[in-house]
């Protein structure tokens, strides 16, 4: 029997068997339509041949092979299989989830690129052996012989049964699908590159070093201070790759960062075909761009994490910008690290990968120190000095709505000199809590173990975890006190305070509340660039890579929380955030100034931030991690579970811990604990950490452990494994 095994978007860790006449290895990666349940589903053939796992008579036929679509490339399938295995996610969901929406559906995708061609087998065959009634097949063959390669659409229009004939001929190996690459594209690209700025000595050195490894696998860590011109190094590398006719994949952590980069690429390489892939691109356009990458027509693909799975036949370089950013790790479903998969993919394809950051993840930095990644530095800024960074000791000062006199003075000076300032507060809303000082009550979310955040304007209390909203109460529901106090500072409160202090200033708040749409963010960014804004108030949205040329002052409020967080990564995140936000200050002609308000001005972390000394911070943090046995010196897996009742979660995790402990692997199984926010939207959440110094041992443990998790009780909880978790 001819059997194919198909990946379907079904939450089961298995492939599904179907019959297909004329199976050939070339069908691996092909998209098919198969009967499933009462309907039909689209899937991808991953295996051909083999023995069925169910009685043969129960195996159904493949309903349709999308013969005019190119099969997924073997390297992409291999990457998907790895991701499924390593991150413990059903293979069918990995494969289908990585495709554009249109290809997950059970119908043909209209934008198939490329041509249908006759194969050598067809040319050598005796066409008179075709059955007499195979008129459509003859017609297709003869048309192709007479006119040469044709589009699938044209072939299908030759006769009413031509689509089926095309499919059969494809299955028989008489016709094949050939990717269309417009001739001469590479030459155009190479000549069209507009000249960039002169390189600094450090940039030139980095370019030579990395450029020297084109054509083979090398993982590079490009550690460059903010403003050191990492992007220019990327652009020069891309230029070299395009001149050789290669494709480049550029991964960025956030959709908001893509327009700037795309614009820069387009300006530098006006002749090149660029494609941006992220969730903001409309579906049909996304498919078109994916096809352009897959067929080799697009030379540069800029995308967010999912783009790592895009087929790229001429891939020659991968760049992962802001490689430390947590957004590169998916937090649900397939919980993969796009950065780690990018390194794997580079290795698979034998091409260099460049991980760029001013504050690399400690994982990547440790690999560089150990010689597994090559390290290259950009330690100086291209066109300005590093900002002067000062800590403002708030213990000795009277604050006005959270603002210190030193910061208020600096803001006033900035206004007088008509320069721009940024006040960075990592909380949106007016105040993170509404408190009653008479009895200690604070407005709780009824569905979460979290406090409600006060939002003015709408005069509402909102939960930032589940979205619950209620009107602000006038009196304490517990004691009747009429004097409720908003506690702490959010972006709204700072905005109001600044408006009172500087009535003439043009103030703009940028946070998730004011930028619900992507266009809103772009428009605001434009207003800042056009100098229609004097003072910006914003959350970490603003910290990432945005170039605001007139910004000379940055004030940081309420950063201390991370210093006493239970999350062992909190210090790393804070260092990265402060470095990024400080990096916004003083880009061009004016040296910038950064004021960090803190109660711990002598803390080693702030000292390292002040000196912009990543290496010093990393040494310190890595020593702590080594002593505590945390990543990167151990590998972790988190079993997350949630259910409406706490006892159910506790019982499930307790049994999982017990089962894991008895398996006898060299892993540490910790006790189950409630999640940091234990209840969200009425569901109790808990987790269990498993850790090992050996990645392989941990993977073997998972293989033995997972089957034991799915017992009857497990149906009452929603659980998931998070391999290499970033948030505990
Ligand atoms: Zn009260
Ligand atoms: Zn809530």
Place of tokens 């991808």: 44
Q: What's the average model confidence in pLDDT over 453-469?
A: 91
Among all ligands shown, which has an atom nearest to the Cα of 483?
Answer: 1
Ligand nearest to the CA of 482: 1
Q: How far is the CA of 670 from the centre of ligand 2 (A)?
A: 28
Give residue 184's pLDDT band: very low, low, confident or very high (50, 70, 90): very low
Ligand closest to Cα of 464 equals 2
User: Is residue 600 predicted with pLDDT exceeding 80?
Assistant: yes
Buried b (16+ CB within 10 A) or exposed e, 123-143: eebeeeebeeebebbbbbbeb
Distance 442 CA to ligand 1 centre (A): 8
Q: Which residue, among 209, 497, 191, 292, has the nearest Cα to 301 in the 3D structure? A: 292
Q: From the CA of 447, how far away is ligand 2's center (Å)? A: 5
384-395 confidence digits (pLDDT tens): 778 899 999 999
Mean local confidence (pLDDT), 19-46: 91
- Give the closest residue to 289 by CA, choosing from 268, 258, 311: 311
Closest ligand to C-alpha of residue 446 is: 2
**Rounded distance, CA 174 to CA 124, Å?**
10
> What digits encode the pLDDT tens for the residues 77-110?
999 999 999 999 999 999 999 999 989 987 766 5
> What's the CA-to-centroid distance between 482 and ligand 1, angstroms?
8
- The first and second tokens of residue 83, run together, are 């991701």
Residue for token pair 């034991």: 708
pLDDT recorded at residue 181? 45
Give the residue with greater pLDDT, 516 vs 441: 441
Ligand nearest to the CA of 466: 2
Mean pLDDT in residue range 512-518: 83
d(CA 666, CA 692): 7
Q: What Rg, from alpha-carbon coordinates, does the chain have? A: 29
Q: Let me know: does 9 contact 97? Beta carbons within 8 Å.
A: yes
Q: List 423's β-bridge partners, or say none.
A: 537, 555
How much is the pLDDT for 385?
78
CA–CA distance, 90 with 333 (Å, rounded to integer)? 10
Q: Which residues have CB under 8 Å from 518's CB, separation 6+?
A: 255, 256, 280
Q: Ligand 1 centroid vs 360 CA: distance in angstroms?
A: 46
Residues 416, 542, 622, 378, CA torsion sign: negative
Is residue 260 within 8 A of residue 328, CB to CB? The reply is: no
Query: What pLDDT is recorded for position 117?
Result: 80
- Name the band, by pLDDT with cuts 50, 70 and 90, for residue 499: very high
* Domains detected in the chain: 3-104 (3.40.1440.60), 118-178 (no CATH), 201-378 (3.40.50.300), 388-431+488-624 (3.40.50.300), 635-723 (3.30.70.600)
Nearest 5°: the CA angle 269, 275, 278 is: 135
* 131: helix, strand or coil: coil
The CA 321 to ligand 2 mean position distance, Å, reads 34
What ranges in 197-306 are assigned the alpha helix state H?
201-211, 230-243, 258-268, 283-294
Instruction: Decide which of 491 and 119 is more confident.
Output: 491
Q: What is the mean pLDDT of residues 123-149?
A: 85
Read out DSSP for 602-647?
Answer: T-HHHHHHHTT-HHHHHHHHHHHHHHHT-TTSSEEEEEEEEESSHH
* Confidence at residue 690, expressed as pLDDT on a 0 to 100 scale: 97
Ligand positioned closest to the Cα atom of 476: 1
Q: CA–CA separation, 52 vs 66, rounded Å?
A: 23
Residue 639 makes CB contacts below 8 A (sequence gap 6+) with 653, 656, 687, 688, 689, 690, 709, 719, 720, 721, 722
Residue 645: count other Cβ atoms within 10 Å of its Cβ: 12
Mean pLDDT of the chain: 90
Tokens (6 digits) for 6: 């198909």
Say how many Å lie between the CA of residue 678 and the centre of ligand 2. 11
Query: Rounded to whole angstroms, how far apart are CA atoms 127 and 122?
Result: 8
Q: In angstroms, what is the span from residue 432 Cα to ligand 2's centroid?
A: 13
Ligand 1 centroid, distance to 477 Cα (angstroms): 7
Ligand nearest the Cα of residue 479 is: 1
Name residue, tokens 């001739």: 183
Q: Which of 162-176, 350-364, 391-405 has the lowest mean pLDDT?
A: 162-176
CB 598 within 8 A of CB 655: no
Between CA 378 and CA 370 the distance in angstroms is: 20
| Alpha-carbon gap, residue 289 to 277, rounded angstroms | 7
How does strand 469-471 pair with strand 353-357? Answer: unpaired
Ligand number nearest CA of 485 is 1
Highest mean pLDDT among 278-282, 292-296, 720-724: 720-724
Expressed in angstroms and rounded, the spacing between residue 474 Cα and the centre of ligand 1 is 11
Q: State the distance from the centre of ligand 1 to the C-alpha of 435, rounded, in angstroms.
A: 8
In the structure encoding, which two tokens stand for residue 370, read together? 């150990």
Q: What mean pLDDT is predicted for residues 330-352?
A: 97
Segment 272-276 shows an average pLDDT of: 89
Cα–Cα distance for residue pair 567/676, rounded to 1 Å: 9
CB 68 within 8 A of CB 115: no
Q: How far apart are CA 484 and CA 45, in angstroms?
A: 63
Q: How far, in Å, from the CA of 448 to the mean position of ligand 2?
A: 4
Do 570 and 535 contact (CB within 8 A), yes or no? Answer: no
Which ligand is located closest to the Cα atom of residue 450?
2
Residue with tokens 């905005």: 495
pLDDT interval class at 182 (50, 70, 90) = very low
Confidence at residue 169, expressed as pLDDT on a 0 to 100 scale: 82
Interval between CA 460 and ligand 1 midpoint (Å):
19
Q: How far is the CA of 483 from the centre of ligand 1 (A)?
A: 9
* Structure confidence at residue 109 (pLDDT): 61
Ligand whose nearest atom lies closest to the CA of 452: 2
Distance from C-alpha of 646 to C-alpha of 674, rounded to nearest angstrom: 9
pLDDT tier at 728, thresholds 50, 70, 90: confident
Q: Look at residue 368 and give its three-state secondary structure.
A: helix
Q: Taking the C-alpha atoms of 56, 62, 67 and 71 in order, what is their torsion angle to the nearest 10 degrees?
A: -70
SS (H, E, C) 519-567: HHHHHHHHHHHCCCCCEEEECHHHCCCCCCCCEEEEEEECCHHHHHCCC
Q: Which residues of 393-412 are buried (b: 16+ CB within 10 A; e: fewer)?
A: ebeeeebeebbbebbbebbe
Cβ-based neighbours of 330, under 8 Å, separated by 6 or more: 305, 336, 337, 338
Query: Which residue would you say has higher pLDDT here, 367 or 582?
Result: 367
Ligand nearest to the CA of 444: 2
| Nearby residues of 550 by Cβ (< 8 Å), 6 or more positions away | 419, 420, 531
Q: Which pLDDT tens digit goes with each residue over 531-558?
A: 999 999 999 887 776 778 788 999 999 8
Strands (E), 402-522: 420-425, 433-436, 453-455, 460-462, 469-471, 484-487, 507-510
- The alpha carbon of 210 and the centre of ligand 2 are apart by a number of angstroms equal to 48
Interval between CA 681 and ligand 2 midpoint (Å): 5
What confidence tier does 1 reach under pLDDT thresholds 50, 70, 90? low
CA distance 588 to 488: 35
Q: How confident is the model at residue 111 (pLDDT cuts 50, 70, 90)?
A: very low
Q: How far is the CA of 439 from the centre of ligand 1 (A)?
A: 4
Distance 469 CA to ligand 1 centre (A): 20
Closest listed ligand to the CA of 682: 2
Rounded to whole angstroms, the Cα distance separating 139 from 168 reads 13
**In a 3-state reduction of DSSP, which class is residue 346?**
helix
Taking alpha carbons only, the member of 292, 364, 290, 352 closest to residue 319 is 352
Q: Is the CB of residue 343 less than 8 Å from the CB of residue 564?
A: no
Two tokens, residue 258: 């893509």
Ligand 1 centre from 479 Cα, in Å?
A: 4
Three-class SS of residue 586?
coil
d(CA 450, ligand 1 centre) in Å: 18
Window from 28-32, 286-290, 682-686 with minimum mean pLDDT? 286-290
The string of pLDDT tens digits covering residues 281-331 is 888 888 989 999 998 889 999 999 999 999 999 999 999 999 999 999 999
- Which of 318, 329, 316 has the alpha carbon at shortest distance from 363? 329
Bond preceding residue 632 cis, omega within 30 of 0: yes
What is the CA(650)–ligand 2 centre distance, in A?
21
Distance (angstroms) between ligand 1 centre and the Cα of 472 equals 14
pLDDT tens figures, 137-159: 888 898 888 888 887 778 877 88
At 526, is the pLDDT very low, low, confident or very high (cuts 50, 70, 90)? confident
Between the CA of 454 and the centroid of ligand 2 the distance, in Å, is 13
Range ranked top by mean pLDDT from 133-142, 363-372, 512-521: 363-372
- 469 CA distance to ligand 2 middle (Å): 8
The CA 453 to ligand 1 mean position distance, Å, reads: 17
Ligand having the closest approach to the CA of 449: 2
Within 8 A by CB and 6+ apart from 149, the residues are 115, 116, 117, 178
Q: What is the mean pLDDT of residues 191-199?
A: 78
Distance 444 CA to ligand 2 centre (A): 8
Which residues are close to ligand 2, an ion, with C-beta < 5 A? 445, 447-448, 463, 465-466, 468
How far apart (Å, rounded) are the C-alpha atoms in residues 711 and 708?
7
Q: How confident is the model at residue 114 (pLDDT cuts 50, 70, 90)?
A: low
Distance 451 CA to ligand 2 centre (A): 8
Q: What is the mean predicted confidence (pLDDT) over 674-687?
A: 94
Cβ neighbours of residue 328 under 8 Å, at least 6 residues apart? 251, 253, 305, 320, 322, 337, 338, 339
Give residue 677 CA to ligand 2 midpoint distance, Å: 10
Ligand nearest to the CA of 481: 1
What is the percent of the chain where pLDDT is above 90? Answer: 64
What is the whole-number distance in angstroms between the Cα of residue 675 and the centre of ligand 2? 14
Nearest C-alpha neighbor of 98 from the set 283, 310, 298: 310
Report d(CA 109, CA 46) in Å as an integer.
20
pLDDT for 237-266, tens place per residue?
A: 999 999 999 999 999 998 877 888 888 898
- 28 neighbors 45 (Cβ within 8 angstroms): yes
Determine the distance separating the centroid of ligand 1 and the alpha carbon of 440, expressed in angstroms: 6
What is the per-residue pLDDT for 183? 37
643 compared with 156, residue with greater pLDDT: 643
**Nearest ligand by distance to the CA of 443:** 1
Cα–ligand 2 centroid distance for 449 (angstroms): 7
Distance in Å, CA 477 to ligand 2 centroid? 18
Residue 588: the pLDDT is: 63
Contact criterion met (CB below 8 Å) for 283 and 213: no
Interval 211-221: pLDDT, tens: 999 999 999 99
């Amino acid at each position: 029997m001819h059997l194919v095994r198909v990946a379907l978007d079904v939450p089961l860790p298995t492939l599904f068997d179907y019959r297909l006449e004329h199976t050939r290895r070339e069908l691996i990666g092909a998209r098919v339509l198969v009967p499933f349940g009462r309907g039909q589903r689209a899937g991808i053939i991953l295996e051909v041949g083999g023995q069925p796992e169910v009685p043969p008579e129960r195996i159904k036929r493949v309903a349709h092979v999308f013969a005019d679509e190119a099969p997924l490339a073997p390297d992409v399938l291999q990457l998907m299989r790895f991701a499924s295995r390593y991150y413990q996610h059903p293979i069918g969901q990995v494969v289908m989830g990585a495709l554009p929406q249109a290809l997950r559906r059970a119908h043909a995708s209209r934008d198939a690129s490329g041509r249908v061609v006759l194969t050598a087998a067809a040319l050598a065959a005796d066409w008179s052996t075709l059955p007499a009634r195979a008129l459509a097949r003859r017609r297709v063959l003869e048309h192709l012989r007479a006119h040469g390669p044709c589009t699938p659409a044209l072939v299908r229009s030759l006769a009413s049964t031509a689509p089926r004939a095309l499919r059969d001929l494809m299955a028989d190996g008489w016709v094949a699908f050939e990717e269309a690459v417009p001739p001469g594209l590479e030459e155009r690209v190479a000549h069209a590159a507009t000249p960039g700025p002169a390189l600094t000595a450090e940039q030139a050195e980095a370019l030579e070093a990395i450029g020297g490894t084109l054509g083979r696998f090398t993982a590079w860590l490009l550690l460059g201070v903010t403003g050191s011109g990492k992007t220019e190094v990327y652009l020069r590398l891309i230029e070299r790759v395009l001149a050789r006719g290669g494709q480049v994949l550029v991964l960025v952590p956030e959709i908001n960062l893509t327009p700037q980069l795309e614009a820069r690429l387009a300006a530098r390489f006006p002749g090149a075909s660029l494609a941006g892939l992220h969730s903001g691109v409309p579906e049909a356009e996304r498919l078109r761009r994916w096809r352009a990458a897959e067929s080799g027509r697009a030379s540069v693909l800029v995308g967010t994490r999912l783009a790592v799975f895009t087929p790229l036949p001429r891939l020659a370089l991968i760049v992962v910008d802001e490689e430390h950013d947590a957004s590169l790790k998916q937090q649900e479903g397939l919980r993969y690290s796009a950065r780690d998969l990018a390194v794997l993919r580079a290795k698979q394809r034998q091409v260099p990968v460049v991980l760029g950051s001013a504050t690399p993840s400690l994982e990547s930095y440790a690999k560089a120190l150990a010689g597994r990644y090559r390290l290259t530095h950009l330690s100086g800024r291209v066109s300005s000095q590093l900002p002067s960074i000062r800590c403002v000791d708030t213990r000795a000062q009277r604050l006005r709505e959270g603002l210190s006199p030193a910061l208020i003075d600096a803001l006033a000076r900035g206004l007088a000199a008509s320069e721009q300032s940024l006040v960075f507060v990592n909380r949106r809303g007016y105040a993170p809590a509404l408190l009653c000082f008479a009895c200690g009550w604070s407005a709780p979310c009824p569905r979460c173990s979290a406090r409600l955040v006060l939002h003015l304007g709408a005069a509402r209390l909102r939960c930032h975890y589940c979205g619950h909203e209620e009107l602000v109460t006038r009196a304490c529901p517990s004691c009747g006190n009429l004097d409720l106090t908003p506690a702490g500072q959010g972006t709204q409160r700072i905005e109001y305070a600044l408006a009172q202090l500087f009535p003439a200033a043009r103030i703009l708040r940028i946070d998730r509340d004011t930028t619900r749409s992507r266009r809103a963010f772009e428009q605001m960014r434009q207003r800042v660039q056009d100098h229609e804004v004097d003072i910006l108030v914003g959350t970490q949205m603003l910290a990432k890579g945005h170039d605001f040329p007139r910004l000379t002052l940055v004030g940081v409020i309420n950063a201390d929380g991370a210093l006493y967080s239970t999350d062992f990564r909190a210090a790393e995140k804070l260092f990265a955030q402060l470095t990024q936000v400080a990096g916004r200050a003083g880009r061009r002609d004016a040296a910038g100034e950064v004021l960090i308000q803190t109660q711990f001005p002598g803390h080693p972390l702030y000292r390292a931030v002040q000196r912009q000394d990543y290496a010093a911070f990393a040494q310190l943090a890595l020593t702590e991690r080594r002593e505590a046995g945390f990543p990167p010196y151990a590998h972790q897996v988190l079993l997350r579970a949630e259910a409406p009742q706490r006892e159910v979660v506790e019982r499930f995790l307790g049994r999982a811990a017990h089962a894991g402990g008895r398996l006898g692997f060299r892993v540490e199984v910790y006790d189950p604990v409630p999640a940091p926010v234990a209840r969200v939207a009425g569901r109790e959440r808990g987790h269990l950490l498993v850790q090992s110094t050996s990645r392989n041992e941990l993977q073997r443990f998972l293989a033995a452990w997972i089957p034991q998790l799915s017992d009857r009780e497990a149906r009452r909880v929603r659980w998931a494994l998070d391999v290499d978790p970033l948030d505990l």
